[in-house]
Amino acid sequence: MFTHRTVLLTEAVDGLNLQPAGIYVDCTYGRGGHSRLILSRLGPTGRLIAFDRDPQAVADAKTIDDPRFQIVHEGFSSFDSALDALGIAQVDGVLMDLGVSSPQIDEAERGFSFRFNAPLDMRMDTTRGQTAAEWLATAQEADIAEVIRDYGEERFAKQVASAIVAARALEPVLTTGQLAKIVATAVRTREPGQDPATRTFQAVRIYINRELEELALTLPQAFKRLRRGGRLSVIAFHSLEDRIVKRFMADAATADKLPSRLPVRAADIGEAPLKLVGKPVRASKTEVDENPRARSAILRIAERSAAPMPVQK
């Protein structure tokens, strides 16, 4: 049985530059690896708020008997409203460990993996929302193709969508095994060692859980709440989410853009509201050898400066 290992555990928490009396947010509790390490470094007046929309993750979080800790059963795009409800105006750091968690992948009944034949669910929050099977049963072929192309970067997206629509006309596509077989008939070639269904399963999962939209909505909220010197520490696992993180941090770390030939000194432009901290961090060879799922992880860290937030246009 696979044992859950938190990816880039110490690197992500070290990146927060924790202050013992600070207030921190773990946007993706998972199985609590980052949260427990943060709590171990906080003093008696420190505070940690964690988010997770997975009921099993929330149940795990409730086993932490610590008055400094609170779990919020919501997606992290509810960042502002949740913190308002808790009476928290600003925080000293925010950690985001993106994507699907190992327990979600390894529990067959969740329907995230083509390694098991199970109900085609894929919801991170099993208490609400549309399942993957429900969406595939009614979605237009063009919409299915668009999702698989954009979120899975699958070059055979049209063929896969066509195959799904043809298959569902014969019988409902209700299991992961059915979907994997359908995709295998449509994907003619694949990278060595990669299952033909990999990209399609990723795409459908991202769509069902609105993962990229959640991320894009949350980054500005987290940024707005950071105190001066507060850190944003984000781990991404694929290029789509990392692109959003990289672009957001780069834009916020760039002072006002002026024409290159304008006679203005750099010192007069002012400080950017966010400062990048170090270079992107990847898992060590040792960590990847012990946990192959760490291979694609990339950690980016940024720090809030004293500069005012830019006006939204």
Residue 280: name the closest of 12, 5, 35, 9 by CA.
12
Tell me whether residue 33 is annotated as binding. yes
Q: What sign does the CA torsion over 277, 279, 285, 290 have?
A: positive
Alpha-carbon span 162 to 66, nearest angstrom: 52
- The single-letter DSSP state of residue 139 is S
Residue reference for tokens 């954009």: 150
Q: Is 34 annotated as a binding residue?
A: yes
Nearest CA-CA partner of 25 in 42, 41, 49: 49
Q: Is 238 annotated as a binding residue?
A: no
- The closest alpha carbon to 54, from 131, 115, 132, 128, belongs to 128
Q: Return d(Cα 107, Cα 124) in angstroms, integer.
A: 12
Q: Cα separation of 238 and 173, whole Å?
A: 27
For the annotated binding site for S-adenosyl-L-methionine, the residues are: 32-34, 52, 76, 97, 104
For the annotated binding site, the residues are: 32-34, 52, 76, 97, 104
